[in-house]
Amino acid sequence: MKYVKLSIQEPVAVVTIDRPDCLNALNSQVFREISATLQEVEANDQVRVVILTGAGDKAFAAGADIAQMVHENGKQGKELALLTHQAGDLLENIRQVTIAAVNGYALGGGCELALACDIRIASENAHFGLPEVGLGILPGGGGTQRLSRIIGVGRAKELIFTCDQVDAQEAYRIGLANHVVPQEELMDACMAMAKKIASKASFAVTMAKNAINVSMSADMKSGCSKEQDLLGLLFATQDKQEGMTAFLERRKPNFTEF
């Protein structure tokens, strides 16, 4: 891979967008490499959590590559949107939990990748924003759909219509960032959360992720029905037996299923 680096420290995979000269701007190849890397990671039974970050200390990703997009027509624009959505869908739906380690600017398509992750942890120098309408386009990598689900329709409309950036503290205040930490502590903080999540019953975590994702598009009745089905499925697992037996025997559980 030219622009995306994968480092596996079981049970965690770190995926790094590596184009620091242009603030990790996302061209078509970067999006393809992110998706290919996530597919590789999803097939790895030893990886339970994926951390997505950007190389350097200035940017997570400063958006889709404007130097590429300036030459593109409508058909190519739609193809780019498809590539960004493929990467976003993987971040949102792979069986592993995904954490965005937002180490600087997360703008446009970069912000949209962070929005597709399950959890966002920001360094103090992080800035989030969707500047697309200032370029004559719209947030076409899931931003018009995911931002409002995370921070509410009113705030999402304001940020998208004004192109205002929010800093890390404001992102935390409005629920866009789960935590804010000093930049030098960012990867340790993400790793600590990843290991905590990986210590739980991984198959149960994946099922909980599925059920929560369903809540974003289903009505209450069908969402609750899905939840009941998944609970029934989990009651039939070895890990449920192990987790509950370990509690009663006052020992740590030894979970095995994924």
- Which residues form the interface with ligand HXC (CB under 6 A)? 22-23, 25, 62-67, 80-81, 84, 105, 107-109, 131-132, 135, 140-141
Minimum CB separation of residue 67 from ligand HXC in Å reads: 5
Minimum CB separation of residue 53 from ligand HXC in Å reads: 16
Of 132, 158, 170, 249, the active-site residue reads 132
Nearest to ligand HXC of 11, 109 (CB atom): 109
Nearest to ligand HXC of 136, 232 (CB atom): 136
Confirm whether 112 is a catalytic residue.
yes
Of 79, 112, 158, 249, the active-site residue reads 112
Minimum CB separation of residue 80 from ligand HXC in Å reads: 5
Minimum CB separation of residue 114 from ligand HXC in Å reads: 12
Nearest to ligand HXC of 64, 193 (CB atom): 64
Nearest to ligand HXC of 105, 258 (CB atom): 105
Distance of CA 207 to CAs 140, 153, 202, 204, 234, Å? 28, 27, 9, 5, 8
Q: Under a CB-based contact definition with an 8 Å cutoff, are residues 144 and 125 in contact?
A: no
Nearest to ligand HXC of 12, 17 (CB atom): 17
Confirm whether 132 is a catalytic residue.
yes
Residues recognised as catalytic:
112, 132
